[in-house]
Structures are given as structure tokens and as C-alpha cells.
Structure 1
Amino acid sequence: MERNQKLYLQDSFAISNETVEDARGQIGNADLVDHSRRLHKRLWNVAEGVWCFVGNGLSNQTFIEGPEGLIAIDTGECTEEMTEALVAIRKETQAPIAAVIYTHFHYVAGTKAIFASEKRDDIPIWGHERITMNRRSYGTELSAVASRGLIHQFGIALPESGIDSVINVGLGLSYRNPEHAPFTPGFIEPNQTFTKPLTVQIAGLEVHMSPAPSDADDSITIWFPDLGVCVNNLIWPVLFNVFAIRGEEYRDPRILLTGIDYILSLSPEVVIGTHGPPIIGTDRSKAEITRYRDRIQFLWDQTVRGINKGMNLEQLTQFVQLPTSEEESYLTRQFYGLAEHHVRQIHNGLRGWFDGSPAKLFPENPSARAKKLINGFGGVEKAQAIADEAFAEGDLRWAIELSSVLLEYHLSFESNNEDAIERDSKLLANCLRTVAQKTTAANIRNWCLTYALELEGLLNLERHRKHRFSRSVVMANPPSSTVHALRVLLDPNLAIDYEQELRWEFENGETTGVLIRNQVAIPTDGKDAHLAIRLSIETWADLLSGTLTLSDSLISKISTSNTSEEITKFLSHFDLPSLTQ
């Protein structure tokens, strides 16, 4: 196989990268600090009757004025965010809001502010058919890892000031604008949905809307041919994130390229993204978007080329390194994620987790591997000395790997050696903090600092390693969605030789069920269940969110024709404390 002679991934982080101090004392890569200026709050008047509010939150709010009123595109993370956007636009125009369009399901939680401002409840809301479904699934089956991923990626738990505080989050200044607390949810379901390209008249304007999967499968591109304006969720103010460190479903670059090529075919005069400043001018838009799409194709093509050469993941990430040019702009910089991680994701999306390396086919138990490695180095003190030397010399990849092995060893075989655990936790934290200060990628900076602070005992994220249901999520979704989410909470060891079905009868008339069989929990309609309970959605929300226990609810809030013991036994198979108390 061809051997790669390239230097290893200087783009991800390098000791030689310049670091600076930002306004709140943050220490970080100079280019990442400079990137913040593009994300500052500003209402861009990009053309007559076209405005884009950047920096109000993580996403933009866009307004297009037609003969019959304003079209509001995306409504932010909360009603407070959208209220501020409305205050800003009302300084420019008093045209009534004739319609709302959602680009995808992520930034649509401020819509109630529009309805309140307009004193109407019949405003058309356009969006992809999957938006409501995606909103419902968010925070149910994957709630623990999803919340933990957001905390790490966006630095939500980082201090408000000091060296470890957030510089920016790549796509915006922060995950949520703190000025918008308490972040009141205000999502309203779209009432004009579609799954295929369509052309309609909205507010007196011709509007083309086309599905364009991006970081969500319900993303659309919006084209206003009379204005030469394209609004989309494909062109970001960073190199597109094929891989999100918080964890997401695979984003296939081939699908992204199709959507971007469509935008190029329009020859737009103005391109407005979900995030970041607009791109103004036909020639500039063409040049910037062409380079942007070509960098994404480069990642795909060269990863596949390396796979065909028989490279494993580590060799691939060294092999595929993005080209640069003097014309390079922020749109292709690694300010959000890193190319080496995108390469890994492309491999996994195309070929799965196994990269052909024999050592990864049947890996050793992590604890046993750590013990063998430490013994192979000549003991703990020798391994620590090697890790210290690696850190001192700036060999951060090796220092991180070895300090992680040392920690696994201590936690597995020296549970009482608190001094050694503290020592090597500090070393790993120092390694991660150094990476955070050198990398251009906001996601990586935030992830490394969050992990480092937890190692140092300054953060405790244990509650995010337990499955939790938000009461507001339970109340906002059909009861069946959260009942059926119990499938991922079944403890199979408790369900050996147990088979039974329970029906939930909610006071709003919905009926649903779960069947436990062969150590899995199967969603059903509950019609054939032997066991049944009747309750309100409010009681179910209190039970799932932990404000009410099963034993208490069976006294007065849940009725059943079965015995309490039968209901308790069924629900005791699920790994949720409120169902077992």
C-alpha cells in the first residue's frame, strides 16, 4: 500500500498557532477570535425589501417584503429571540407579516412571537413535511446523549468569562443569546407542508421552495426569482460540518453537492444562509460558493481515493488534507469542525466502522489493554514520564492518548490511588486545554474545555449521562411518542422470561401500548394488552420528568382494573427512577 509522507494534520491544531486573549479573557486561536466579528449583531439590508438579522442568536432571521406583506424566514430558538428580531424589522418597515417559512426544524421556536405581534392565529407557515416529526423525536429516545452533545459542542457549561469561556460557536456567537433568557418555547407547526419542489405565490411574490437535505433531512432552499435572492441552509460561514462532534446522523456530501449546485444554477444576486453574514453580488456569490462546494467534493473524492488504496482511518485523515489558495475565505475555513473528523465520518457513512485494520477487528477490553500497555512501558512512573515529555514537546496527540491510558489503568486497577488519578487527570486536562487554545475549530475548543473542566472537578455532567425527559417535551408531543421511547430504557437483564403488554389510555382519547417480549420493548397500539392504565398527559409528563413517582401516582392519578403490583412489575423493567419508585 502507498505510504503517506505528509506532515500530520497541522490544520487541526499546531503548537505554533498564534493565540490571543479576547474581550472576556478567553484564550484561543487568533483566527477563531477574529471570526467573531463576522457574527456580531447586525440587521443587514441586503437589497430593497430584503433584510437579514445576523447575531441575534445562533441562527439568522430573514425578512422579505412583497406587495402583500412580509415573509419571515426562521424564528430562532425562543419567543424572546424572535421578539427582538421583530423590534429590529419594525424600524425598517411596518408591512404586516403575511407568511412564515421554516428552512428546517432547528430554529423555529419563536413563531408564537409573530402571532402575538400580528394578533392573528391564521398566518400561513410553510415548511417541509418532516419538520414536526423531527421536532417530536428530538429529546426523547436520545435525550441524554443529545443534551450532553450540545453542552460539549456549544460550550453551554463553560464559564461566562476567563480563559475557558466561549469565544464563539462557529455559526454564531453563542448557542443561545443570554439576553433572551428565559428562552420561552414558541414553536407552531407548519400548516403548509411539502416534500417535493414547488412554486407558489406568497405575499404577492413568486417563491420556489426545494428540499435540500443539509444538517437536517427537512432542509429547504428558497428562491425568489423576481428579487434574485436565495435563502438556504447549505452555505454556512464555515467549512460545512459533515461531522458534528455532538453526534448526528450521517450527512452525505454527495447530497450536499446536489443542493449547492442548484444554488449555483440560479446565479443569485444575494445568498442568505441560516447562519452568518449574507453573500452579496452575483460574481462574488459564484466564486465563493464554487470554492465552498469544491472543498466538500475534495473531502469526499480524496477520502474515497484513500479507501480504495486500502488506508485505515488514521492513514486517511493524514492523506486527505484540504488545499488552500490566496483567495480562501472564511467560508472554507475550519472554524466549526475539522476536516480530519469529516474524513472519518465519510468513511463510516460509506463503509461502516471497520477500516481494515486487524487491531480493530477484535479490540482488547479497555481496562486490560491499559494494564498491558502500562506494564509494557515499564510501569506507571515510566509511562507518566513519557506522557509528560510528550506534552512538554508539544506532541499533544501522543500525550492525550497516553494520559487517557493511564487514567483507564488507575480507574480499573488502582481505585484508591487518588493522587495518581488527580495527577493524570490534570495532565489530560492540560493537553485538552492546549488543543482548545490552538485549534481554529470552535466545536473542538468547546468540547476539549468542557472535558478538561470535568476532569478537574469544576464541572459535573453526570445528570446528562442518565436518560431524562423534559416535561415540556412530553407535553408538546403526542403521548405515543414518549411511551414508545421507553423501548431504549428497557433493562434486558430484568426482562428475562417476561412477556406482557401494557396499554396507556390517555384522557385526551389517545391509546397506545408497549409489549415486552424476548428482552425487547415493542411499540404497539395497546389493543391486545392484558394490562391497562388510564391517566392524563399531565400525569405522564410529571412521571417521566421525575416530579412524580409511580407509587404516588397509582394512589390517585392513575387508574387501572389490574392490580398495582402488576403495573409496578411491568414498569420496573425500565431504567427510569420515577418508574421504579
Structure 2
Amino acid sequence: MKRAICLIPIMLWASGAAAQDAASEATRAAQAELAQRLPLDDPRDEANVLRGKIAEIPDGVITGKDGRIVWDRRPYDFLNRAKAPDTVNPSLWRQARLNAVHGLFEVVPDKIWQLRGYDLSVMTIIRGKTGWIVVDPLLSEETAAAGWKLFADTVEAKTGVLPIRAVIFSHSHSDHFGGVGGIVTPEQVKKDKIRIIAPHGFSEEATSENVLAGPAMGRRALYMFGAILAPGPTGQVDTGLGPKLSSGTIGYMEPTETVPARGATLTIDGLAFDFMDAGGTEAPAEFVFYIPAYKALHTTEVVTHNLHNVLTLRGAQVRDALRWSKVIDAMLLKWGGSAEVAMGSHHWPTWGAGEVRTLLTNQRDAYRYVHDRTLFLANRGATLHELADQTPEAAVQGSDFSTRGYYGTLNHDMKATYQRYFGWWDGNPANFNPLPPEESAPKYVALAGGPDKLLAAGKDAIAKGEYRWAAEMLNKLVFAAPDNQAARAALASAYDQLGYQAESGAWRNYYLAAAATLRGNAVAGGTSNGQSRSFISAIPTAVFFDSLATRFDAVKGAAQKGVFQFVMPDSKESVAVVVEGGVEFPRYGVTDAAPTATITLDRSTLDDVMLGQAQFPALMQSGAIRIEGDRMAFLSWFAMHPPADPRFNIVVP
């Protein structure tokens, strides 16, 4: 895209001020060009967003039992203005305003309702023959409880109080099951025989996805979701997928039944549900379903009102864009002629049989375009960083906002697809084993003629509106001299403009959070979620010990050797941890004949440690942990597991 040239620098570089920049002339030109190219005044999405609204939580404020605010939409009142400010991509502004509408909505009269705008995700409530069927009870118990209260006060006040007969977890991401404890208790599930229905593989995936790589994923998520940014026209406005993450308590309940890979038709409280497996698309364990009696299709997170991530910026295993497109086509073939409403786990519904078919067709084509264009170009020699720049957006993206890159982008989805097939390397031996950034950066600075010249070149690139090039240069300078405040300020300015121009909420948040980090004015702490005992207890013991092994300091522990046998009487589990040569290997379910030490503790005690409610030394003194054998060898080995720093640097060395 052609950029206008900004002849006047947009801040006083020598001032050292920490304030964010205004939108540059180049950014304003980019915003205007996009606004002119897209039908931003198309009223259909707004009509669908507002359709069926019957109630809302005042000011969109939700607090926990302790009075702590876990959800607050008041700081986002700036979204009330229709016209986008220059500091926000006009297409993202449109999406943010749509996502900002919150309340209880009637989707199918007297049959289906949705609670939207009270978490990143959407909770759906379906009337069965004798009670309610709840789909995806949000991320936090507090937001789910508040949403359920709004439903009860509004709908049940007219229909009478009915029991919850079933809860459906559509897939294995925590923003779709973590709030379950806010609507039902384990005691209710057992007493009332409430069905908890999930896709096959759900239990393992739901409790293990973020355990092994949790610290790094959590740190990057602060940037991706803008949790360390203040809301505002120069800060966090939306994620693209939804408003933001809630900051309540994440819980868990084990499914009472799962839907097999072949799919199934289940009768739930007298209502037929036709399930189709969608595992390996947006989540490893996922399904979509159709309710023939209501002609309603639940597309889960396979079809939403944006192009999704093939590889999320927080980190995850690369998803399969080809399978994604094929699952959508299967939905189109099976239900595209009968569904009169499509609703997902995010965003708003689509009504009308023709509109549903169009939605499915366009979404299918968007993911197929990502996949096929990647391989078309890769098979002709394009590398990971070349193919995205060579690819114009798909034709459908110019007319259908549901396919635009508000969350995932064509750019990084194509790179992810390349990675899925070819890995991280582009085939060029110069890039096979490059120097780490902290080693190469000083050499680049010297090659440029010193820090002053490189800084001047970076500022010149900014003045010309060449923000990607400026960021590439100035990042070298910051990594060579992280205390160079002028370099940090200049790089932050480049990130400001890249963030302002980004159509993806995730890209915007990451750029602007990086700028805030460089300036030292990131919001302290950011959004945090507490994991409940139900969630921690559900983590498989084998996964916990695999995670523990990733914390083993192989350098300091290279001389360690032994077998440490763990016995957990309450769960009747055993794990033998073999340590030798700087490697720690847990053997789940194994009892070693001659261990170096045997450690006996209940799994519930291990949960206390994971929740931060107990420490190993105190538990050893109290007798809650018993050690037989070489006690000093165990203590020496245990000391080789330093905790990860959850605030490690990302944008500076």
C-alpha cells in the first residue's frame, strides 16, 4: 500500500517524554485509504448485533464475592463515537463497537438466548423440554454467575424457574468452560444428574494446553490481549475476537460424556442435537452442532465474525487451515440448506438461510485461500517472510467483514501455514543458525557507523512513514544498548504507528504494549485470572510431572543422578522420576524397585502447592510429605527446579 510521506517528526526526540505519539500523516493516510475501500457503513452487522436485546447489566460492571471488579465496560465509553479516531484502524473500530454491545439477547423466540459482552466469549442458553441447556459458560465463574442472574431475572421471571439439565463445552479453550462453577456446582451436577457434554479428547486438552508452556504463553498473552494497556483511543480498544479477557476465577468440571470423533445425534432434555466433530481446527478438541427443531446452527469457534488465528500470537500448536476449510464445507453441505440462524462462541448471530449459507461459504473460502496461496507460493520458492507480502487479501475480504483479519491475519496465518509444512527455517543456510539478537545487534550498530547514525536512520524511516523498516533497525539498537532512551523512544514511536494502523486487535495490542514497555508506562500487573482448585485438580498428574521436568536446570543439575519415586495415596498414583545426565524423565504409573528416595504425598497436597497455598519445606516439617531414603539427594534435586520469571523481557534484552 502506498504511504504518504511525513516531513515533520511527530515528537520532540530530545525531550525524552514518555507520552504516546499522535497519528502521523502516513498513518492518517493509511486509515483514510482503508475507510474509502471498505463499506464501513454497511448496516447489517449492527442490525444483527442489536437484534433481540432484552436486558443488560448496568454499566457492564461485574464484581466478585469479595467486591473486586472482574469486568468493567465503563472505561470503554470512548467507543460511543461513531467515527474512528486517527489512532485506530477504522475497520477495527467498527468491530470494537460491535463487540462492545453487551446484554441478554433472544436469538430464537422463546427458545434460544445469548449473553454477549460480559467476557471474551459468548454464553448460549437453550430451552429444552423441561429445563435449560447452557453452552460455553464463559471464562470466569464471576462473569458466568452475573450473566446467569441477568437471564434468571429477565427470562425466568416470566417463564418460571427451570432447572439446568445440561452444560455443553463446545471446545477445550478455557474461555468456554472456565465459568461453569458460576452456574452449577459439582454437588448439583451429581444430585440432579446434570449432563456435562464435551468433544472427545476434551479433558486432556482443556487441562494441559497451557501447562507445559504456561509461563511463556501467559507473558505473551499480556501483550496480545492488551492487558498491560489502559483502554482508550491510543490503547486497548478490543481483541477482535471479543472485548477483552475477564479477570475472575477459572474453574473446571469433568464431562459426564463425550461426543465421539464420528459425531453423534444426542437427545438432550427432549431436544435433538446433531454433533459434527471439528477437532484440529480452532481447537484440538471441538465440535459444532445443529438443532433441527429450532433450525439453529452453533458454529462454535470454527466460524466467527473474523478471520481466526492459525497460530495465535500468545503461542500454541499450529492449526490446520486445510481441515478448517473442510469442516466448514461439511457444515455447509449438511446444514446450509436448512439452518435459519448461525450462532457461535464469539460475536453475534447471523439470521436467514441465505445469509447463513453465505457466511459459511465465505469463511470456508477464507481459510482455503490462506492454505492454498501459502503452498502455491512456497512451492515456487517463496519463504515464510516473503509469501505474505506477495499475497493480496482474498476477494471476499473486501466485501465480507466476517472474513477480515480482526484476530488472525492473512499475514501471520500464511506464515503459520508455512511453519506447519516446512518449520521455522526458510531454507537459506544463512538463516539456519543465525546469531542471537543480543550478539548480532552490536555488530549491526557498528556496521551502521555507531548508535547515533543508526538512530538517525531509524528516525528518518519514521519520518518517511516506513515504520516496519524503522522498527527493524531500531530494534537492533535497543538490543545493543537497552539503556539508550532515545533509541527506546524512537522504537516506541514506530510501534505506535504500526499499532494504530493494525486492523487486527491482537496486532494492535502487541505493538502498543511493546511501546508502553519501552516507555516504562505499561499498566502494572495487567489482567490476571485465578485458577480454582477444580481446575488445578483436573490437571493430569502425568502432565504436572512433565511440566516439572521442563523446569529442571540441566546445567546446574548435570551431575545429579537418581530415581525419585512419588507415591500419592489419595489418588492411588505413582510416578518414578529418573534423573541422569542433565535430563529428568518422569515415568507415570511406574514403581521403581530401588529408588534413591521415596516421596509420599497426597495429590491434594500437590494441588495445594500448585495453588500457592503451601510450600514444600513447611509440608515436610508438618509430615504432610514423607521422605524415605536419601533425603539430601531429594532436596538437592528439588532445588534444581527454579521457578520461571513470569515477567521476563520480550521487547528488550
The one-character-per-residue Cα deviations of 1:364-392 (angstroms, maximum 9, x if unpaired) are 34334223322222222111111110011
| Letter paired with 2:138 | G
Q: SS of the residue aligned with 2:183? A: helix
Q: Given the alignment of the two structures, is residue 230 of structure 1 paired with residue 297 of structure 2, yes or no? A: yes
Distance 1:248 1:135 in 2: 13
| Letter paired with 1:45 | E
Distance 1:507 1:209 in 2: 39
Give the fraction of aligned pairs with identical amino acids, expressed as a percent.
23
- Per-residue deviation at 1:539? 4.0
- Per-residue deviation at 1:45? 1.9
27, 31, 37: which one aligns with 2:97: 37
Match of 2:325 in 1: 257
Distance 2:250 2:367 in 1: 34
Match of 1:142 in 2: 213
Are 2:27 and 2:497, in contact at CA under 8 Å, matched by a contact in 1? no
Distance 1:29 1:355 in 2: 31
Q: Given the alignment of the two structures, is residue 169 of structure 1 paired with residue 239 of structure 2, yes or no? A: yes
Distance 1:356 1:293 in 2: 30
| Letter paired with 1:29 | N
Match of 1:393 in 2: 464
- Per-residue deviation at 1:240? 2.1
**Does the C-alpha gap of structure 1 residues 348 and 462 become closer, same or farther in structure 2, counting only changes over 3 Å?**
farther
202, 205, 209: which one aligns with 2:275: 209
345, 350, 362: which one aligns with 2:433: 362
**Does the C-alpha gap of structure 1 residues 378 and 520 become closer, same or farther in structure 2, counting only changes over 3 Å?**
same
- Per-residue deviation at 1:470? 8.8
Distance 1:127 1:555 in 2: 42
Distance 2:522 2:292 in 1: 51
| Letter paired with 1:428 | L
Distance 2:578 2:450 in 1: 52
- For the aligned residue pairs, the C-alpha RMSD in angstroms reads 3.0
| Letter paired with 1:61 | M
**Does the C-alpha gap of structure 1 residues 164 and 535 become closer, same or farther in structure 2, counting only changes over 3 Å?**
farther
Q: Given the alignment of the two structures, is residue 484 of structure 1 paired with residue 546 of structure 2, yes or no? A: yes
Distance 1:399 1:290 in 2: 39
Mean Cα deviation higher: 538-547 or 389-398: 538-547
61, 77, 83: which one aligns with 2:123: 61
**Does the C-alpha gap of structure 1 residues 386 and 470 become closer, same or farther in structure 2, counting only changes over 3 Å?**
farther
| Letter paired with 1:447 | Y
Mean Cα deviation higher: 565-574 or 433-442: 565-574
Between the two proteins, the alignment pairs up a number of residues equal to 552
Q: Given the alignment of the two structures, is residue 110 of structure 1 paired with residue 179 of structure 2, yes or no? A: yes
- Per-residue deviation at 1:554? 2.9
**Does the C-alpha gap of structure 1 residues 126 and 168 become closer, same or farther in structure 2, counting only changes over 3 Å?**
same
Q: SS of the residue aligned with 2:555? A: helix
The one-character-per-residue Cα deviations of 1:152-180 (angstroms, maximum 9, x if unpaired) are 11112222x4444321111111111xxxx
**Does the C-alpha gap of structure 1 residues 542 and 426 become closer, same or farther in structure 2, counting only changes over 3 Å?**
farther
Q: Given the alignment of the two structures, is residue 495 of structure 1 paired with residue 561 of structure 2, yes or no? A: no
The one-character-per-residue Cα deviations of 1:420-442 (angstroms, maximum 9, x if unpaired) are x2111111111112111111110
The one-character-per-residue Cα deviations of 1:164-221 (angstroms, maximum 9, x if unpaired) are 4321111111111xxxx6x233421110113221112111111111210332111101
Match of 1:536 in 2: 602
Return structure 1 stretches of 4+ with deviation > 6 angstroms. 19-22, 460-464, 468-472
Distance 1:469 1:496 in 2: 34
Distance 1:170 1:326 in 2: 15
Match of 2:253 in 1: 188
Mean Cα deviation higher: 41-50 or 549-558: 549-558
Are 2:250 and 2:532, in contact at CA under 8 Å, matched by a contact in 1? no
- Per-residue deviation at 1:139? 4.0
| Letter paired with 2:135 | I
Q: Given the alignment of the two structures, is residue 312 of structure 1 paired with residue 379 of structure 2, yes or no? A: no
Match of 1:527 in 2: 591
- Per-residue deviation at 1:89? 3.0
TM-score normalized by structure 2? 0.78
**Does the C-alpha gap of structure 1 residues 145 and 70 become closer, same or farther in structure 2, counting only changes over 3 Å?**
same
Q: Given the alignment of the two structures, is residue 279 of structure 1 paired with residue 341 of structure 2, yes or no? A: no
**Does the C-alpha gap of structure 1 residues 152 and 470 become closer, same or farther in structure 2, counting only changes over 3 Å?**
farther
- Per-residue deviation at 1:281? 0.5
Are 1:469 and 1:544, in contact at CA under 8 Å, matched by a contact in 2? no
Unaligned runs of 5+ in 2: 4-25, 36-74, 80-84, 646-653
Distance 1:551 1:57 in 2: 39
Match of 2:197 in 1: 126
72, 83, 89: which one aligns with 2:145: 83
Are 2:306 and 2:403, in contact at CA under 8 Å, matched by a contact in 1? yes
The one-character-per-residue Cα deviations of 1:113-149 (angstroms, maximum 9, x if unpaired) are 3325995532011111322212221442112012112
Unaligned runs of 5+ in 1: 1-5, 412-417
Match of 1:415 in 2: none
The one-character-per-residue Cα deviations of 1:205-250 (angstroms, maximum 9, x if unpaired) are 1111121033211110111122211112211111122121111111
